[in-house]
Amino acid sequence: MTEGPLSDVLVLDLTRALAGPHAAMMLGDMGARVIKVESPSGDDSRGWGPPFLGEGDDRESTYFMSANRNKESIVLDLKSEADQDVLARLVERADVLMENFRVGVLDRLGFSVERLHELNPRLVVLSITGFGHDGPEASRSGYDQIAQGEGGLMSITGTEQPTKVGVPIADLVAGMYGAYGVVAALHERNRTGRGRVVRTSLLAGMVGVHAYQGTRWTVGGEVPGLAGDHHPSISPYGMFATGTAPVQIACGSEGLWRALCNAFGWDPAEAAFATNALRVANRGALIERIEGLFADQPAEHWLELLSAAGVPSGMVRSMDAVYTWDQTRSQGLVIDVEHATKGRLELPGSPIRFDDNPYSGGRSTHLAPPTLGQHDASIREWLES
């Protein structure tokens, strides 16, 4: 047993790759016991690399490690009657089952929603698909980059051509929405005594994060284009070249615009830039003016000046700079775990903290991502207890 707000919740994670594993990991971070059910060949992402840690049969994928902390692993061949029986007994004890098979696969394995709820009426089932469980394209398999394109995100990302986000954002967002839906269903179960099915998809996740870009079309009738490095509705708000590295500025109010002008010795009421609407309309000229000023000094000079003026600004950090930054570490965003074969590792931590816990997530200690079948014996022994 462990501490955390979900420490009384048992999750069966039948998912693989990223969307489902990320959802299950979020619940594990909050203290849930997560049992990852893997096929004999393991989660697909165990083979995704490089980079790997170790060599040959002893290697572990750093990709897999990113989505599977705070879990146990059991290997089950769901085409085997004996292993189907093990899964059925796990379902009877579980609070949540997560799956991201293609539509109909779990039914063919003998674990339809009806069967799952016969085994355990209180079970909350999370189903994550690529494009939704019904509709004309429900049968399509879901891959992140395809969903980024089909879901519109790539059409607004980039400068000269559509560009994918640098992480599998469709997978990650679907996982986040899935975890959110599960927690809501668990809360409802406290009133009704019954579980329900929660459904989301990579497509739903992409549409769900359109924010103001979505309402530009649905309300405003305007089709957004590539946003590049500058905000489409606020200016100056974006990335600007300096004599060395780029600097980012966010003037999200007229007060901040005046503060920036005071710092640069400009007139905030200048006709071409007097309002945000004018600055958006004349963005190109404003960028040229700012970058012309910035060209003579290094980024550090401008960041110091902007900070002193109270204008939100920042650098573009590389990944190594982020993980060695004292602010990142002060927030519990880097955690130590003891891996079964690789020893002590540092992993990215949960983005959530609670007021009585200085650590990342809802627990003070975290489990390393499991090796394949690491907990077979202990889980089977627990089922017999």
Catalytic residues: 171
Tokens 């989301």 -> residue: 200
Torsion 18-23-28-30 (CA) sign: positive
Residues near 44 by beta carbon (within 8 Å), at least 6 away in sequence: 16, 17
Q: How far apart are CA 247 and CA 87, in angstroms?
A: 53
Other beta carbons within 10 Å of 372: 18
- Which candidate, 207, 188, 187, 185, places its Cα nearest to that of 198? 185
Tokens 């014996």 -> residue: 377
Instruction: Identify whether the C-beta of residue 87 lies closer than 8 Å to the C-beta of residue 99.
Output: no
**How far apart, in Å, are the Cα atoms of 71 and each of 21, 48, 109, 273, 367?**
10, 19, 24, 54, 7
Q: How far apart are CA 72 and CA 64, in angstroms?
A: 13
| 77 token code pair | 């061949």
- Which candidate, 142, 16, 30, places its Cα nearest to that of 67? 16
How far is C-alpha 82 from the chain's CA centre?
Answer: 35
Q: How far apart are CA 325 and CA 334, in angstroms?
A: 10
| 229 token code pair | 């490095």
- Which candidate, 199, 287, 202, 203, places its Cα nearest to that of 249? 287
324's enclosing H/E stretch is: helix 319-324
